[in-house]
Every structure is written in C-alpha cells, then in structure tokens.
Amino acid sequence: MRAPELSLSALKKAMLAGDFYATTGVIALDYRYRASGGKIEIVLPKQDNSFHWSDADHNATLFTTLFINQDGINKPVKVDTSLTPSYTAKSSDRYVRAKVLSSCNNEVAWFQPVFRR
C-alpha cells in the first residue's frame, strides 16, 4: 500500500483510492501507473537465492509477472521475468492488472486493475 505515513487515516485513504495490492509474500519496491501513456511499472527486490553464481541482472528469485486484461488470466497480454516488469496498455485493453508469481514458497501478489479511459 502506498501511504505517506503509518496512520489509520492515511491507510484508509490509500485503500479507498485503490492504492494497494494483495500479497502472500511478494513485496514490491515500487509500483507506478502513468495514466498519460497507459504504462504500468513495477520494481521487484533483488534477493539472492542463486548460490551466488548469477550475474548482476539475473532474476535470482525467478519472479514472473503476468499482465492480464479483460480476456482473463489464461491469456496474459504480456509475461515479464525481469525485476522491473512493465506494460503499456493498448487501445483494446479495457483494463490491465498485474499478477506477480515468485518461485520462493509459491508467493503471489495481485495488483489493482487500471482502467483505460
């Protein structure tokens, strides 16, 4: 949840604005939606589960981000395995949401849908 402080009023305001995500353990460092270009950007943490053999850009936690539109989860519009997944909505997308899967303990995060206008 994006709130300026840890107070009941700030948390309630963020929730009512839809500025939060649900998770079973996946933590997002940042989430941005740029309405002017219809772009969703996520930043995921670099956690080392690779026995120190990977290079600096390797996705050691094996995150997989699915960008899903109105056609449903069985047909994502984009699959991104980077630590900085992003998607620019197409004119045919009525909405898009992100679902991040982690190979660590089968954790998942679901982000709020963003609607094209």
Percent of the chain with pLDDT over 90: 48
- Report pLDDT for 55: 57
pLDDT mean over 99-114: 90
In a domain, 69, yes or no: yes
Q: In terms of Cα–Cα distance, which of 115, 9, 28, 108 is closest to 64?
A: 108
- Cβ–Cβ under 8 Å, residues 114 and 36: no
> Quick check: is 105 in a domain?
yes
Q: How many domains does the chain have?
A: 1
CATH number at residue 31: 2.60.40
Under the banding of pLDDT at 50, 70 and 90, the label for residue 116 is confident
3 domain-assigned: no
* Token pair in block for residue 61: 């936690």
Confidence of residue 76 (pLDDT cuts 50, 70, 90): very high
Query: Do the domain assignments include residue 78?
Result: yes
Which residues span the domain enclosing 65? 22-115
Average pLDDT over residues 18-44: 89
Would residue 8 count as lying in a domain?
A: no
**Residue 80 is assigned to a structural domain of this protein:** yes
